[in-house]
Amino acid sequence: MRRFLGLVFALLAGACDGERPPEPTVAPRPTGSAAAAPSASTAPAAVRRLPGAPRIVAIGDLHGDLKATRRALRLAGAIDERDAWIGGSLVVVQTGDDIDRGDEDRAVLDLLESTEKAAEKAGGALVLLNGNHEIMNVDLDFRYVTEGSFQAFGGSAGTLDGDPRVAPLPPRAKARAVAFLPGGEYARKLARRSVTALVGDTLFVHGGVLPHHVRYGLERIDREVAAWMEGQSKKAPASVTADDAPVWTRAYCLDPKAAPCSKLEEALRGVGAARMVMGHTVQPGITSACEGRMWCIDVGMSEHYGGPTQVLEIQGAETRVLDASRPAP
């Protein structure tokens, strides 16, 4: 029944493709605005850069599961049982897809926002990235929103309710649409995130960074997305809607054993990074390839997928998988 309701809503909302089909493991042909990218420079390209830390922990897709979010943050050593920040100078990077598929995505977003502020006060950081599901919701593509998540935004109606894009939606969806429409409360929160971030010598992204993304400009993509989410533009930029966009591509993690390592090396070299960490494509456990230069960290830890709670710890050149089901060494 949920699938049927989701399909009906998609038709009512006029949503576009949603989840793309699996991509080939070879690097796809550039599409959209990225196809006309300028040639690469020999110097590292512009990207959002944050200083490294003695300890960095990466967390993959959370998909509206508050318990899984708390488990992952506690496994990382970021928060205690009262959700208070205990990580000190720890840097946590969450690679997007906090919403959809689960009933608690508003609570997940709110917890991450409060934790981000607490981390900053304590001298640490919680770096939050946008994934394809954040992009979809700002684009009013609600096919993967659960009934519980529609209800959670029941009190969010505001001045955008008269927007012609909101008016034709089913009544139960209007409050969420008001919150996520470009310029809405939660869209503006997401606008403060980036699509990619280089923390120390590790490049983080939801789907993957391909060489033509680097040539197009990772900071340029961030600026385009932020402007759209803030309401300066009513159309999502092609840099995040193309099938091979940084939030959509599965070129690396669909089959890590057959990953295009030469493309990975080119992209890493373009930004001056040692490794790339990605979510988006569910793995049976955190997976590495290309001699430790790429890490696929979406393990489907939310209730929707039922996967394990795992996070990736980075300390200098050393990487280690932390698993909630295993005692710490």
Residue 154 lies in a domain: yes
Name 202's bridge partners.
Answer: 199, 275
Q: How many helices (H) and strands (E) does the chain have?
A: 10, 11
pLDDT digits (tens, 9 = 90+) for 181-226: 999 999 999 999 999 999 999 999 999 999 999 999 999 999 999 9
Is residue 212, in this structure, part of any structural domain at all? yes
Write the burial class of residue 5 (CB in 10 Å: 0-12 exposed, 13-18 middle, 19+ buried): middle
Nearest to 72 by CA among 282, 265, 287, 312: 312
Q: Is the pLDDT of residue 35 over 70?
A: no
Residues 153, 106 contacting (CB under 8 angstroms): yes
- pLDDT tens figures, 220-236: 999 999 999 999 987 99
Is 133 part of the annotated catalytic residue set?
A: yes
- 8 A C-beta contact, residue 36 and residue 297: no
For residue 179, give both structure tokens: 């919150």
In angstroms, rounded to a whole number, what is the distance separating the alpha carbons of residues 129 and 92? 11
pLDDT digits (tens, 9 = 90+) for 273-291: 999 999 999 999 999 999 9
- Spatial distance between the Cα atoms of 141 and 135, rounded to a whole number of angstroms: 9
Residue 311 lies in a domain: yes
Torsional sign, CA 102, 182, 136, 3:
positive
- pTM score > 0.85 for this model? yes
**The CATH number of the domain where 237 resides is what?**
3.60.21.10
Report if residue 90 sits inside a domain: yes
Tens digits of residue pLDDT in 55-85? 999 999 999 999 999 999 999 999 999 999 9
Q: What share of the chain has pLDDT > 90, as a percent? A: 78
Which has the higher per-residue pLDDT, 5 or 318?
Answer: 318
Q: Which residues pair with 85 in a beta bridge?
A: 79
- 105-122 vs 66-75: helix axis angle to the nearest 10? 30
Report if residue 141 sits inside a domain: yes
Domain assignment of residue 108, yes or no: yes
CB atoms near residue 255 (< 10 Å): 14
The tens digit of pLDDT for each residue in 287-320 reads: 999 999 999 999 999 999 999 999 999 999 999 9
User: DSSP class of residue 80?
Assistant: -
Give how many domains the chain has, as a whole number: 1
133, 206, 213, 304: the catalytic one is 133
Please choose, from the candidates 214, 234, 236, 215, the residue with its C-alpha nearest in 3D space to the C-alpha of residue 225. Answer: 236
The pLDDT value given to residue 326: 82
Closest alpha carbon to 201 in 128, 296, 268, 287: 268
Cβ contacts of 22 within 8 Å, gap of 6 or more: 250, 254
**pLDDT above 70: residue 11:** no
- Residue 44 is predicted with a pLDDT of 74
- Structural domain span for residue 184: 2-13+47-323
